[in-house]
């Protein structure tokens, strides 16, 4: 199994690159943001609670997202590998993920982090907010709060994978295809 984490701040292009990567490498895409938005669309109790938190730019509780990931792993026993997008976002989530994968006798191969400057992130997210139905992309204060949460909580995730020598940083600016080439090159050396 080949399991990878696509990491980076909101607006760094994880969703865009994930679509191309799953097509090229046949991985199963697991995005906690997408899973949460699906709960919101179905108006489940979990979705209704999560939306309040997401609209403030804060993180949904660890146990909620860990539970969703655990169910998704169980629901895909034949996957060739998983591409984690937007998860793990805290050190506790990273540790929980390691345990879940260990139970399945597999592990994270690499964490690829996309680096993009803050002003470029805000510009991209506001642009996405003009056309997407995502309420968290229309307000600059919420966008900056999400970037701040990324720096305060999520950077610890990168440190975690660095300690296992599994963190790789890539430039997330340029054309979509250029970035895709950079990511693919890193994956190809590890397949
Ligand atoms: P972005 O990376 O643009 O912020 P996501 O779709 O990954 O977009 O996430 C949207 C929101 O969903 C986050 O701001 C957060 O509130 C919630 N969320 C997504 N993944 C997680 C997670 N792993 N842990 C906690 N909250 C999460």
- Read off the pLDDT of residues 44-75 as tens digits, 9 standing for 90 and up: 999 999 999 999 999 999 999 999 999 999 99
pLDDT of residue 18: 98
pLDDT of residue 133: 87
Q: Report all structural domains of the chain as residue ranges with CATH numbers, in order of start.
A: 3-188 (3.40.50.300)
Residue 32 Cα: closest atom of ligand 1: 20
Mean pLDDT of the chain, nearest integer: 97
Give the pLDDT band of residue 155 (cuts 50, 70, 90). confident
Q: How far is CA 155 from CA 56, 58, 137, 151, in A?
A: 20, 15, 21, 5
> Would you say the pTM of this structure is higher than 0.75?
yes
Query: Of 37, 89, 124, 166, which one is the catalytic site residue?
Result: 89
pLDDT of residue 8: 96
Query: In the chain, what are the helix, strand and coil shares in percent, each to the nearest 5?
Result: 60, 15, 25
Pull the structure tokens for residue 57. Answer: 């730019």
């Amino acid at each position: 199994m080949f399991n990878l984490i696509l990491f980076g701040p909101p607006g760094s292009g994880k969703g865009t690159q994930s679509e191309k990567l799953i097509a090229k490498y046949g991985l199963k895409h697991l995005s906690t943001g997408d899973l949460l938005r699906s709960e919101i669309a179905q108006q489940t109790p979990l979705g209704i609670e999560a939306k309040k938190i997401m609209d403030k730019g804060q993180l949904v509780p660890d146990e909620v997202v860990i539970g969703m990931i655990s169910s998704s792993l169980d629901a895909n026993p034949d996957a060739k590998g998983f591409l984690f997008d937007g998860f793990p976002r805290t050190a506790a989530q990273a540790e929980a993920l390691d345990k879940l994968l260990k139970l399945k006798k597999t592990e994270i191969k690499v964490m690829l982090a996309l680096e993009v400057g803050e002003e470029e992130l805000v510009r991209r997210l506001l642009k996405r907010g003009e056309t997407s139905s995502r309420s968290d992309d229309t307000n600059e204060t919420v966008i900056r709060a999400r970037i701040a949460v990324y720096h305060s909580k999520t950077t610890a995730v990168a440190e975690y994978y660095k300690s296992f020598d599994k963190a790789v940083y890539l430039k997330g600016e340029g054309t979509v295809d250029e970035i895709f080439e950079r990511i693919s090159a890193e994956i190809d050396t590890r397949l």
